[in-house]
Structure 1
C-alpha cells in the first residue's frame, strides 16, 4: 500500500471513528437527491416507466409548482416528442436518445427555493455566442412564458 493510500485510509478511518460523515458538507435535501439519483441509475427504465415516474413526482409537488410542471410536461412532449421523460435527482427531466438530460424542472420546495426552475444541461443546444442562460426561475407559467419555453426546447433539441 502506498503512503498516499495509507493516509487516505487513515483519514477515512478517523472520520468513521468520530462519526463524521464523508458528505458532511451536503444538506439533507442534497443527500436525498443524490440517493434518488443512485436509485435512478440502478433502474434505467422504459419511456412509459419514465413518464409514470415523472408524473408521480409532479403529483407530489405543491399546487402552483404542480400546475407549472404539468404544463411544462405537455409543452416538452409536443415540441420534442423524441425526448424521453425520466426523473433526474428526483426531478422531472427529459433526455435525448443517448440518455443525456436536455432539460429539467426543479420545484421550489425541492431545495427550499422561492421559485421553481427550468434548467437546461450542456447537451441542450442553447449556445448563443460565448455566454447564454442555462436556467430560468419560474413563479408562474403563462402564455408568454410558454411561448419562450417552446422556443427554448425546440432550440435545445435542434
Structure 2
C-alpha cells in the first residue's frame, strides 16, 4: 500500500461503529435475561421493534422476510445481530436481513453465515440483494432458509 493509500484509511465508518455498539448492547441485554423463555420472547420483541423502526420499503421487506423465515424454519430463533434482524440455530446466526438504510446501500440484503447449509460445490452465494419481496422472492427465500437449516 502506498503512503497516499495508507493515509486515506480512516477506520470504520460511522455506520459500522454504530453497528458494533449495537451488538455490544445486544450482548449485555441478553446476558441480563434470566430464563430461556424470557430470552426468546424478548429477542423476538427486539427484532420486531427493530423492523418497525426501518424506513418504509425496508420495513415492508423485513416484515415479509421475518414471516417467511419464522414460518418455514421454526427451529431458527429471531435475535438482533449488529442491530439487524437475524435468525439463529443453537445460538449461531444462520441468516440475517440488512436494511438498505443501515449502511446507506442501494438495496437491502438477505445474508447467510457459515452455519447455513447452502454449499454448492466449490462456490456458492451467501448474500442476496433485495429491492422488493414479491411472491416469487418469498418462495426463493423459503427454499434458501429451509436448505440453510438442513
TM-score, structure 1 as length reference: 0.83
Between the aligned partners of 2:18 and 2:11, the Cα distance in structure 1 is 13
Radius of gyration: which is bigger?
A: 1
Counterparts of residues 76-91 of structure 1 (less than 5 Å):
76-91=69-84
Counterparts of residues 1-158 of structure 1 (less than 5 Å):
24-44=10-30, 46-97=39-90, 99-158=91-150
> Which deviations, in whole Å up to 9, do the C-alpha atoms of 1:69-127 show, x marking residues without a partner?
00111101111111110000000000002x00000000000000000000000110000
Aligned-CA RMSD value: 1.2
Secondary structure, aligned partner of 1:92: strand
- Structure 1's consecutive aligned runs of 4 or more residues displaced over 2 angstroms after TM superposition are none
Q: How many residues of Structure 1 are paired with residues of Structure 2 in the alignment?
A: 135
Structure with bigger RCO (C-alpha 8 Å, 6+ apart): 2
* Gaps in structure 1 of 5+ consecutive residues: 1-23
* Gaps in structure 2 of 5+ consecutive residues: 1-9, 34-38
